[in-house]
Structure 1
Amino acid sequence: MKLRNQLHSIQFKLTLTFLLILLPLVSVSVFANNYSQSIMDEQIGDRTRGALLTTLEYVDQLTKNMDQQTLMIGLNPSIVDIWNDIDNPLSPDHLYGLHSVQQQLSAITNVNGAIKEAFIIHGESGNGVSTMTGGVRWPEVKQEFWFKQTVNSNGGLVVHIPTNTGIGQSKYLNSDIIYYSRLLDVQSSIKEPNVLVLAVDKASFRKIIQHLQTSDNMNIQLFYNNSFVLETNPASVRGTGNEDEMMSISEASNYWSIQLEQPRSELFRLTHRLQQFTYLIIVVSIIMAVWLAWLVHVEISKPLQKLLAAFKQFSGGNFTTHIVHHRKDKFGAVMNGFNRMADAQRMLIEEDYEKELRLAKSEFSLLQSQINPHFLYNTLDSIYSVAIKNKIQEISEMVINLARFFRVSLGKGRETFTLEETVQHLMYYIRVQQIRTDHFTIQITIEEEAKPVQILKLLLQPVVENAIIHGLERSSQGGELRINANLTGGFLQIEVADTGIGITREKMNHLRNELAMITSHSYRISPSSPTDIYFGLKNVKSRLKLYYGEEADLTVVSVENEGTQVTLRIPLRKGEEG
């Protein structure tokens, strides 16, 4: 039913209308965003391919440079003649010539910084000379794949990239170096040709492609004849499974090829921001549509809701209901009519409320008047008992304190006294009881801030009377009466405790049930409850609820043979918190 009412509401219909108007605009925005993203994807891809081709040109140029260097050395007569006329370059007879060749190779490596090492291997003996180590001995070099490939190239340049496994594996070459090899003398007809090798560190190639590395998640791989050479970021995130999707762009030139991998979300970050901005505009547009629908309907729905709420409150018993508004239209006239109707109805029932208030006041006076006779009978009985028992002058002191007690109880018409005055008044009664029996002592602790707080007169006397007569007096070992008062959490808390005989668990449960029936709305003592059971405590709680409201309370905690504690919580009124 509630859902059906919402579907037929004005707000729902207006909101749906605005959303239907907004739907074509949102569709066009999404299409434009996707189309612009596809264009940007294509442009980014073209620019990336251009950068990769430019990088490959530098790599090819380095290879061409190595080709020229090896060809220049291989055709150098001063080097070729020395190597063609010897059978073992490391023999003592050829040390001078070997040194001359090493100097010429070192001059070339010093000019070209990309060349890390240059060496020549004698084909017949496997010995040679190197710019880094001087003489080298490679006895089984003719069995190396790269050596055979160089011999079979007929004087062409051979690029060899050593690997740790497979055909490219070599026990003489370093896997971190790229080797360019060529026959030392292409036109030589010797049985075992000599081989010239230029070693270029892969770091030189890494420097060429490193400028393309613009992100920590990007990886660039270089290949020669489809064989892996190096990569810039081996630990980069790869787009597999739930990981970010990777975009791969590759280009090839002659024997070299290069491949770039990068997460799409990072590569197209700007387009994603544009897409997010478009979605934000769509969301804002939808919110604006809903807001406009609400703004249109509120001028009709809101006053109707106010009227409906006012009628519900009035029918629920809140006769002070009043609609506050500043409208000048017809809704304003209807609200004014409701306010006049509510005022008239309230005037009709005021007399009944006044009667109830007068009844409550009379009951309040009756509750106070019920205490004095009750106390008077007990006190006169006490005086009589002492007179029969002792026949001493203490009776006079009891009478004096009793007279002072009644004189203050009259209070010259006052309903309340300060806590300090109340305790002083209470001491007259306690002194009478102490003279009558010496079974207990008294301890009073009152915070200074609590002394000026006003409380109802004769509020504590019934509680103290119960503690003495029903607790301490029945204890054969005497005991102590303690009165503590303090301010806490906006309440005045008064505790009256004794170390008497306590209350049994069965009677305690019955007492709690009797006290629980007394509230601020039902403060009269139940007619079904016997008037002579717990009269003092029920009377005190009734007066608390009637005078201070529902926040005020009286609680009782007792343990048999240990004692009883009665706690009064009185809410502080304005001006009493300090």
Structure 2
Amino acid sequence: MKLITKMLLLIAMLMVPVIALYMYSNDQSIGVVEEQINIANQNRLKLFLEKIEGTMDQVSNYSNIITKDPDLYGMTGNALPADRYDYAVLVDSIERKLGLFSLSTDWMSRFSLYFPASGRAVSSHSSIVYDESYLTEHLSANWIFRPITVNGIPKRAFTRYFVEPYAGVTDLRQASIIVEVDLMEDNIVSLLDSFKSQGNNDPFLYKAPDGYVLNGTADGGIARRIIDSYDVAANVRAKNHDTIMLDNKRYLIYFFQSPKLGWTLIDYVPLADIVAPLTKSRYLFYVTVGLLLFLGGAAAYLLYVHVQVPVELLTESVSKLKKGQFSVRLPLNRNREFRRLIAQFNEMAAQIQHLVEKVYSEELRSKEAVMKQLQSQINPHFLYNSLAYIISMAKMNRPKPIEAMAYSLADYFKYTTRNVSMTTTIREEIDFVTSYMEIMNYQLNKICWRIAIPDSMQHMPIPRLLIQPVVENAIVHGLESKPDEGEIRIIGTDEADWCTITVEDDGAGLTAEELERLNGRIAQIETDGDSFGLWNVNQRLRHQFGGQSGIAIESSADGGLRVVLRWEKNEAAKEGDSHFFGSDRGRP
């Protein structure tokens, strides 16, 4: 996983619990605020409703006082003053007293008196006419909401009738005085406005089915939609507040029913307005979190660009150095710290390249020296036997074998002492091996051979003196001790990626245990003295063609040994045809 991914995951892991805790805390805070607001609003609404009821009770008490006034007894019954002046003075006195009662309260109210026995009526604000049919129809001991006219101005008011004695409620003929108290709607509106000015509330009075008393700035549409969408009457006894949704907005509604008025005081508050400070704080938090995430992402990106990218480049370059690509170099980074590190890496890579090339050159020279030293060790081994043969033939005065041996020996040493190049072709090596076997056959007179090499292998390069030691080993250790004739077969095989040359004899051979020990000694890094020629060939193949190349010794079907020289061929050696050149030779 990349560094930038880890950092982004870490930032997310840090921010997720913070956001979760904040959301939980915010929800809890909103819940607490909502609960406290519910309690506060309910208490305010209850006190407000008690204030309205208290004022109405005060006005109702005035009606009892009015009925006890002695001047009113002059209007009851049939004992009216006969003199019109006295009657006018009595009516004026009663109207002034009713006006004082109206002024004794902060509410705009109207007091009217009806005298059923005399059919007269008196009011504190305007002259009225006694209407027995209207009173009979509307007379009630409860507050009613009705339209009225005051001094020619239409208004709406809460009206209540007080009858003295009370039995006159059902029969006007039994009533001596009927007091009509009118509390103007403007009083309730003023109170609602005062209540609304203390907060975000929007109170109104409601009575089913369509009785509304709204405050002066109320949104009548919302008030009616609240009533249409929420059954206040069904819930007012169970609880005093609830939450509703209008236009995807939450509203807190509060409601108290007045048993004296028969109306319900309703108030609603948009929850968004209440929790506006918390909402603003939440938005600020989200903006802060977004800013932190952006800055964290930017920091992660900067770390990725200025740290991870240079580190990955360095890691990739080190891997290339490990694979042997010593020419790798990095462009200098703008970051000062990594610029110095990259510069030092480039300097180190250059030094490593120089040292590796130097070591490689020294290794090549060392391998070349080793192969020349190995070649120099091969030559004396054969020279002694050849000179011994010539001396023997000279003593026997046989010039022809001496001449043939001398020519063959000259060709042999001409080939072995030519150190201009460390490599030769398989054709030249086979010609040299043929000369060697002819020389050995002059001495032993019992060797025959058969050679089969594909034409595609004739011009393949191999180390000089590679096959001759194997043939020499077959003659010395396999055929010399054999009483009758012996045969050597040299077979070449050109495969897809590998070349093999098999040298097989029908000599004495080795047991399985001896063969296993011989293969083990040849595979060693250093020889212990035995089988030096075969060990030498194996080492030269490995030096020339790589560690997978070498020789393997097996038992031959004819009883002798089979030595297989195997090496991986290069691209140039893979071309050519598959014809064979070969020879079958016996004794001369």
TM range (shorter): 0.3 to 0.5
| TM-score w.r.t. length of structure 1 | 0.44
| TM-score w.r.t. length of structure 2 | 0.43
